[in-house]
């Protein structure tokens, strides 16, 4: 199977521990993928969708207890608790490993063990890293085939001595003779573990078959383990889209963007610009690995090979590119099923069909009070399915701008630019979304901070993470590094309606951003940063009132006095006496600018 002594011994160790019935090396071929997909259909683990409507596509339904990432069961296991920091769940390896080894004993009995060599990034590229995931889930094998580069070419690198991340996964549901295997096997919640051992470059996951809990190349490797590797090696692993923009003069630039969930990250990655002559293409919608190269510029590459996106809210009006991307060769999870064997989800069409089979396999009729799809229903599709995929998607591209964002109904303007890269680090540290829905009364209006959109994904101490941004700053110069911006598409008026139309109209803001990266003097100075001078913002053919524009870009002292107090209490809670110097300096400067 392999010439690499470390890998060979590890496979033998896991075989002895987990006791699978058979072992399959994932070759990464279409034939192998198609055979396993057909086996899943035959064993009723998956549903084959209508080949005339959705060729070579499958629908899986998870167990209702296994529908999303489980942050409370996600651990960073380091020798010292301080290395995990205050934002991660920590258990010492000496405690966690024995617990999980006991769970892994005989856990693959009655199952097939898939050995999946995979590359995050193009195979053999200087920006790339490799891993091997061992799993007993055919769903994981199929998804990893789409989301990463898999197979013999990666194994060849490992055989030549390339170091690799060990990623072990089991659904935690062994089968004894006569047992009926459920369509979606998983373990009870208190037996679910998604554990990261950064000191060993190792991931152990148990009990969940869903998404980021099981596709260990994704958040587990590409962010939590990779962020620690990046800290040690002098690069960055960030939760960011990568977007290529071409202006009417055919000038090409690239931007990245980090946004918390439900803030339009995939929609921006696949934006269809409303401005004539502008073209947008995606390099990636979720993760960016970034390094400063010899020319002093920051370059980014998408380490993934596919999209693992949320279906809910995706429609012809919100994201036609995403709809085109999932037309074929796609795995769907927890969507509804139409009578003609196609998928459906909320907002896909203006009206729901009269009848559907819901995500749990039950009849659903129009007018029923419960929605037929799960709110976290997903699609897994190859990058190459995307009609707006940039030809440079497998190359590191130079970044002109970094966007941070959040969902804020007030306070934060539609767009502002940081005064400097270090001020941009501060902006990234305070990003978040305001709770406006009727949750509990005491939470309405509270800002849930998600620094750099990385709060659940930093694989080490958050103080060290922020300080690492400062180290990256010192590796180059202000004029060569990307300019940093904060966007807020979600500002509301006095009637609680969104003011900015969003979607394709966001290209107007992107135009201003790119002009600013060229140093164009089209701005006004506020205490929080540069905002557009409305005389120089492209508003051609946009129906929006002067009063609405004034609200979109206003920076009110009384709002920011409240914001500053909230930032101070947040810093005290998260960092305490370890607040990074860059944040202390920038917060003090912000206070002084409002005096």
**For the stretch 250-284, what's the b/e string if a residue is b when 16 or more beta carbons lie within 10 angstroms of its beta carbon?**
eeebbbbbbbbeebbbbbbbbbebbbeebbbbbbb
Residue 539 CA from chain centroid, whole number: 31
User: How many other C-beta atoms lie within 10 A of the C-beta of residue 244?
Assistant: 20
Which distant-in-sequence residues (6+ apart) come within 8 Å of 547 by Cβ?
A: none
Q: Report the chain's mean pLDDT, rounded to a whole number.
A: 96
CATH architecture of 238-302+393-593: Alpha-Beta Complex (3.90)
Where residue 124 falls (left for φ over 0; alpha for ψ -120 to 50; beta otherwise) is left
Instruction: For residue 130, give the DSSP letter.
Output: E
Q: What is the DSSP letter of 389?
A: B
Instruction: List pLDDT tens digits, range 503-540.
Output: 999 999 999 999 999 999 999 999 999 999 999 999 99
Query: SS3 for 536-557, per residue?
Result: HCCCCCCCCCHHHHHHHHCCCH
**577 C-beta neighbours (distance < 10 Å), count:** 6
Q: What are phi and psi of 117, to 5 degrees?
A: -70, 130
In the predicted model, what is the mean pLDDT of residues 95-118? 98
Angle between helices 30-42 and 138-147 in degrees, nearest 10: 150
Average pLDDT for 115-140: 98
The answer to whether the beta carbons of residues 381 and 277 sit under 8 Å apart is no
Alpha-carbon distance 303 to 357, whole Å?
A: 36
Q: What is the DSSP letter of 414?
A: S
Residue 441 in this model has a pLDDT that exceeds 80: no
- Whether 435 has a pLDDT exceeding 70, the answer reads no
pLDDT at 233: 98
Task: Identify the CATH class of 307-385.
Answer: mainly beta
What confidence category does residue 439 fall into, taking pLDDT thresholds of 50, 70 and 90?
Answer: very low
What CA–CA distance (Å, rounded) separates 482 from 236?
14
Contact 110, 179 (CB under 8 A): yes
The two tokens of residue 518 are 């060229």
- Our measurement of the distance from residue 417's CA atom to the centroid of its chain's CA atoms, rounded to an integer in Å, reads 24
Average pLDDT of the residues in 382-407: 98
- CA distances 219 to 6, 173, 201, 214, 413, Å, are 25, 23, 14, 10, 30
Domain boundaries, the chain: 5-45+72-233, 238-302+393-593, 307-385
- Of 192, 239, 199, nearest to 457 (Cα)? 239
Query: How confident is the model over 279-291, as pLDDT tens digits?
Result: 999 999 999 999 9
Q: Where are the alpha helices (DSSP H) in 19-137?
A: 30-42, 81-84, 93-104
Provide the 3-class DSSP secondary structure of residue 125: coil
Catalytic residue among 40, 263, 386, 422: 263
Cα distances (Å, whole numbers) of residue 300 to 123, 235, 289, 383, 482? 16, 10, 5, 16, 11
**Which residues, including other chains, have CB under 8 Å from residue 565's CB and lie 6 or more apart?**
none
Q: What is the pLDDT of residues 187-220, one digit of tens each?
A: 999 999 999 999 999 999 999 999 999 999 999 9
What is the CATH code of the structural domain delimited by 5-45+72-233?
A: 3.40.449.10
263 is catalytic: yes
Q: How far apart are CA 340 and CA 106, in angstroms?
A: 41
Reported confidence tier of residue 380, pLDDT bands at 50, 70, 90: very high
Query: By C-alpha distance, which of 276, 581, 254 is closest to 403?
Result: 254
Give the list of residues 6+ apart from residue 148 with CB closer than 8 angstroms, or none.
Answer: 118, 119, 120, 217, 304, 305, 306
pLDDT band at 444 (very low <50, low <70, confident <90, very high): low
pLDDT bucket at 437, cuts 50 / 70 / 90: very low
Q: Which two tokens stand for residue 455?
A: 């709060």
User: What number is the average pLDDT over the span 16-41?
Assistant: 98
What does the pLDDT average to over 355-382?
97
The answer, yes or no, to whether residue 379 has pLDDT greater than 90, is yes
């Amino acid at each position: 199977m392999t010439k690499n002594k470390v890998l060979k011994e590890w496979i033998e160790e896991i075989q002895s521990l987990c006791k699978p019935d058979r072992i399959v090396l994932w070759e990464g071929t279409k034939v192998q993928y198609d055979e396993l997909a057909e086996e899943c259909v035959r064993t009723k683990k998956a549903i084959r969708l209508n080949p005339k409507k959705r060729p070579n596509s499958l629908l899986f339904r998870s167990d209702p207890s296994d529908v999303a990432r489980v942050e409370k069961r996600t651990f960073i296991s380091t020798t010292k608790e301080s290395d995990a920091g205050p934002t991660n769940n920590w258990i010492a390896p000496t405690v966690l490993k024995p617990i999980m080894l006991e769970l892994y004993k005989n856990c693959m009995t009655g199952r097939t063990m898939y050995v999946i060599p995979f590359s995050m990034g193009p195979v053999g590229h200087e920006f790339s890293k490799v891993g091997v995931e061992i799993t007993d889930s055919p769903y994981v094998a199929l998804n990893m085939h789409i989301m990463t580069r898999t197979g013999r070419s990666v194994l060849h690198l490992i055989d030549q001595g390339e170091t690799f991340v060990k990623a072990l996964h089991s659904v935690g549901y062994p089968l004894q003779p006569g047992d009926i295997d459920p369509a979606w096997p998983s373990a009870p919640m208190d037996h679910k573990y998604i554990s990261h051992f950064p000191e060993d470059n190792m991931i152990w996951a148990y009990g969940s078959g869903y998404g980021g809990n099981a596709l260990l190349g994704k958040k587990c490797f590409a962010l939590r383990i990779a962020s620690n590797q990046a800290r040690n090696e002098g690069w960055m692993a960030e939760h960011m889209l990568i977007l290529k923009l071409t202006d009417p003069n055919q000038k090409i630039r690239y931007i990245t963007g980090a946004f918390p969930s439900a803030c339009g990250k995939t929609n921006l990655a696949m934006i269809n610009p409303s401005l004539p002559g502008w073209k947008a293409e995606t390099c990636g919608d979720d993760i960016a690995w970034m390094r400063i190269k010899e020319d002093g510029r920051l370059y980014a590459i998408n380490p993934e090979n596919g999209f693992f996106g949320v279906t809910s809210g995706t429609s012809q009006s919100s994201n036609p590119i995403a709809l085109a991307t999932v037309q074929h060769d796609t795995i769907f999870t927890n969507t509804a099923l139409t009578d003609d064997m196609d998928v459906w989800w909320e907002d896909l069409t203006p009206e729901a069909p009269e009848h559907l089979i819901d995500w749990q396999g039950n009849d659903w009729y129009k007018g029923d009070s419960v929605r037929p799809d799960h709110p976290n229903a997903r699609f897994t599709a190859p990058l190459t399915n995307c009609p707006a995929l940039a030809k440079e998607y497998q190359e590191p591209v130079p970044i002109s701008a970094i966007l941070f964002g959040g969902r804020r109904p007030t306070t934060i303007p539609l767009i502002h630019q940081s005064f400097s890269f270090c001020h941009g680090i501060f902006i990234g540290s305070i990003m978040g979304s305001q709770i406006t829905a009727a949750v509990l009364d005491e939470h309405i209006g509270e800002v849930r901070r998600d620094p750099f959109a990385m709060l659940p994904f930093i694989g080490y101490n958050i103080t060290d993470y922020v300080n690492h941004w400062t180290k990256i700053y010192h590796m180059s110069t202000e004029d060569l590094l990307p300019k940093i911006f904060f966007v807020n598409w979600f500002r509301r008026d006095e009637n609680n309606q969104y003011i900015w139309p969003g979607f394709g109209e966001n290209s107007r803001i992107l135009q201003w951003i790119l002009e600013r990266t060229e140093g164009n003097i089209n701005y006004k100075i506020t205490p929080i940063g540069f905002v557009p001078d409305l005389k120089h913002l492209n508003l051609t053919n946009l129906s929006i009132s002067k009063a609405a524009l004034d609200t979109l870009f206003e920076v009110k002292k009384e709002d920011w006095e409240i914001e500053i107090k909230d930032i101070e209490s947040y810093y005290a809670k998260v960092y305490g006496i370890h607040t990074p110097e860059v944040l202390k300096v920038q917060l003090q400067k912000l206070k002084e600018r409002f005096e």
